[in-house]
Chain A
Amino acid sequence: MDSIVQALSCFAKERPDRIAVIADNEEITYGELWKEVQGFAEFLRKKNFPKGSRITVKAAQSIWFAVSCFGIHLSGNVHVPMEKTIGPEGVVNIAEELGASMVIADLDIPEGKIDAEVVSSKDVRDIAKENYCEGLEFDFPTPDMTCDILFTTGTTGKSKGVMESHRAVVAVTENVQYGADIPKDNIYLVPAPINHASAIRKLYVSILTGTTVVLLDGFTDIKKFFDYIERYKVTSILMPPAAVRMMLLLAEKNLAKYSGQLHHIHTGSAAFPEADKEKLCQILPETRLYFAYGSSEAGCVSMYDYSKNRGLISCVGKPNKNANIFIVDENRKPIESSKVNQGLIAISGPVVMQGYYNAPELTEGILKDGVVYTNDIGYIDEEGYVYMLGRRGDVINIGGLKIAPTEVENVVLRYPDIADCACFAVADRMGGVVPKLNVVLKKGCELDTAALRAHMAKHLEAFKIPKQIQVVEELPKTSNGKLDRKNLK
């Protein structure tokens, strides 16, 4: 299969009545979706845009989004999903930056503000139906053509557009498929924003496997989340670490009820506390629990079923079908790594991105000769399991001895009185650095520092035990709920 839209056309013939996408209390079958996708592609073809034109789409958890996405792919153009919360100014800026030919959004953008043609997202499905007729013929996109540009905020804070070819999109999607062994009758609940790499890949994996995806607008409506699991007989869920934490805090018993129904839960894209993994294993004993490692630049390169392999701290599994993982030194030279000889994780294979859009220097900083060089510190053990211990910038270096903050945090989070914590470097009086630990206590708990130190001493080498421990009300978080390490003090 050369593209996801090609898989869609195959399943439209094979199982036309199977539901492809459910959103906003509406559903669309493979047969209907394929017709609308062809109609929308025909609408785009009539525009005579040059091949490979960028079409930006203000994302939404809706069926029209799937129609426009695959219609853009089928017409040979490049799909650029944007945040659902983006305002008119952001839409105009991104469209200009990309030289977009068309913008699809539910916003009023004053005429003359933008060179691109603006189509209302409300009109996408009507346009698709109007332009569909029997006998439309299209050449499917070829593997080297750019499929999507996904925007990601890197550590520099500047937004980068990750260009993925159809080959990479299929390769990453196959990794999700084979890594989780997606069942033939799977029903995937995706409550994360659909423009995010991890979410759009669940739409793609559902289409690639001819199964069903249910799109839900976020996790804040917890009642709806459980209503959907019940109503649509959901069998797998995409849950980022922050959502897992929220469910464990608010709805542990409700989630536990679905252990027999849920084939798997897919988590990824951020550090995932070991304590939360253990809790999920306890409440969902019949469910496979995957942690996926990857990024927008090289997606889903490994997966780890932590419900089966207990106790491998910081393990991200073995490389998936379409990815090679190896460890390099500071000079990008491959090394034989081990727990005591760690390096930086590098990735090659068809999953690798084409580069950042219009940013050759940024691209060179991470991608060379088909290899993505990450800032993730890790190693591969004798059995081939990959371990990811943290980001290079976060590592605390004490006279050559290195401490991955996540290793310390995972130990501390197992201590019963601790709700949350962060380990980071602070300057000491001698001009060097020492590790410091900020902890948020569970309600009603008081910190017994000596007992916490004794707990850490059982699991960590002496130099990794923080010299300073401070109780704080809360930890700084980024806008998407991840720990904001830059603002710890």
Chain B
Amino acid sequence: MLERIIEILQGIRDDVDYYTEDALIDDGIFDSFDIVGLVSELKDEYDIDIIIDDLTPENFNSAENICALVKKLQEED
């Protein structure tokens, strides 16, 4: 899943090393609209419902954290 999420992230910005980057939100690499696009892609790709409580910087700061969020939401479903 991590590989696929990194592909999606590369579609948003392809100049970031998503294997090491852990402050996508905190360092302003992704802006509000990148998050809107990413959330929409994740919803479509994994058929999950991402609610406001999930929209925190921690959940989106790294590919690994995004992957963990998707897995958590899939398990809850």
A→B interface (CB under 8 Å): 85, 218-224, 226, 242-243, 245-246, 249-251, 254, 443, 477, 481
Q: Are A223 and B53 in contact (CB under 8 A)?
A: yes
Q: A220-B31, A226-B52, A481-B31 are in contact. Are A250 and B57 (CB under 8 A)?
A: no
Tell whether B75 is near chain A: CB-to-CB under 8 Å.
Answer: no
Tell whether B35 is near chain A: CB-to-CB under 8 Å.
Answer: yes
With A and B bound together, what is the CA distance between A245 and B32 in angstroms?
A: 10
With both beta carbons as reference points, the residue of chain A lying nearest to B54 in the complex is identified as: A223
Tell whether B56 is near chain A: CB-to-CB under 8 Å.
Answer: yes
Which A residues are in CB contact (< 8 Å) with B30? 220
Tell whether B8 is near chain A: CB-to-CB under 8 Å.
Answer: no
Contact of B55 among A221, A242, A243, A443 (CB under 8 A): A221
Q: Are B53 and A250 in contact (CB under 8 A)?
A: no
Q: Are B44 and A443 in contact (CB under 8 A)?
A: yes
Taking each of B30, B32, B55, which has the highest tally of chain A beta carbons within 10 Å of its own beta carbon? B32
B→A interface (CB under 8 Å): 25, 28, 30-33, 35-36, 39-40, 44, 52-57
With both beta carbons as reference points, the residue of chain B lying nearest to A251 in the complex is identified as: B52
Q: Are B36 and A249 in contact (CB under 8 A)?
A: yes
Which A residues are in CB contact (< 8 Å) with B32? 218-220, 242-243, 246, 481
Taking each of A219, A220, A223, A224, which has the highest tally of chain B beta carbons within 10 Å of its own beta carbon? A220
- Secondary structure at the B interface, as helix, strand, loop or mixed, is helix
With A and B bound together, what is the CA distance between A220 and B53 in angstroms?
A: 13
Of the A-B pairs whose beta carbons lie under 8 Å apart in the complex, a sample of 30, sorted by A's number, is A85-B28, A219-B32, A220-B30, A220-B35, A220-B57, A221-B25, A221-B55, A221-B56, A221-B57, A222-B35, A222-B55, A222-B56, A223-B52, A223-B53, A223-B54, A242-B32, A242-B33, A246-B32, A246-B33, A246-B35, A249-B36, A250-B35, A250-B36, A250-B39, A250-B52, A250-B55, A254-B52, A477-B33, A481-B31, A481-B32
With A and B bound together, what is the CA distance between A46 and B56 in angstroms?
A: 44
Which A residues are in CB contact (< 8 Å) with B56? 221-224
With A and B bound together, what is the CA distance between A204 and B14 in angstroms?
A: 41
Number of CB contacts from chain A to chain B under 8 A: 49
In the assembled complex, how far is the CB of residue B56 from the closest CB belonging to chain A, in whole angstroms? Answer: 5
Which A residues are in CB contact (< 8 Å) with B28? 85
With both beta carbons as reference points, the residue of chain A lying nearest to B39 in the complex is identified as: A250
Which B residues are in CB contact (< 8 Å) with A243? 32
Which A residues are in CB contact (< 8 Å) with B57? 220-221
Which A residues are in CB contact (< 8 Å) with B25? 220-221
With both beta carbons as reference points, the residue of chain A lying nearest to B55 in the complex is identified as: A222
In the assembled complex, how far is the CB of residue B17 from the closest CB belonging to chain A, in whole angstroms? Answer: 21
Which A residues are in CB contact (< 8 Å) with B55? 221-223, 250-251
In the assembled complex, how far is the CB of residue A227 from the closest CB belonging to chain B, in whole angstroms? Answer: 9
Which A residues are in CB contact (< 8 Å) with B52? 222-223, 226, 250-251, 254
Which A residues are in CB contact (< 8 Å) with B39? 250
With both beta carbons as reference points, the residue of chain A lying nearest to B28 in the complex is identified as: A85
With A and B bound together, what is the CA distance between A348 and B56 in angstroms?
A: 44
Taking each of B33, B39, B54, B55, which has the highest tally of chain A beta carbons within 10 Å of its own beta carbon? B55
With A and B bound together, what is the CA distance between A45 and B7 in angstroms?
A: 57
With both beta carbons as reference points, the residue of chain B lying nearest to A224 in the complex is identified as: B56
With A and B bound together, what is the CA distance between A222 and B59 in angstroms?
A: 12
Q: Are A246 and B40 in contact (CB under 8 A)?
A: no
With both beta carbons as reference points, the residue of chain A lying nearest to B34 in the complex is identified as: A220
A-B complex: 6 closest residue pairs judged by Cβ atoms: A222-B55, A246-B32, A223-B56, A249-B36, A219-B32, A254-B52
With A and B bound together, what is the CA distance between A477 and B28 in angstroms?
A: 15
Q: A223-B52, A481-B31 are in contact. Are A246 and B44 (CB under 8 A)?
A: no
With A and B bound together, what is the CA distance between A242 and B34 in angstroms?
A: 12
In the assembled complex, how far is the CB of residue B47 from the closest CB belonging to chain A, in whole angstroms? Answer: 14
In the assembled complex, how far is the CB of residue A230 from the closest CB belonging to chain B, in whole angstroms? Answer: 11
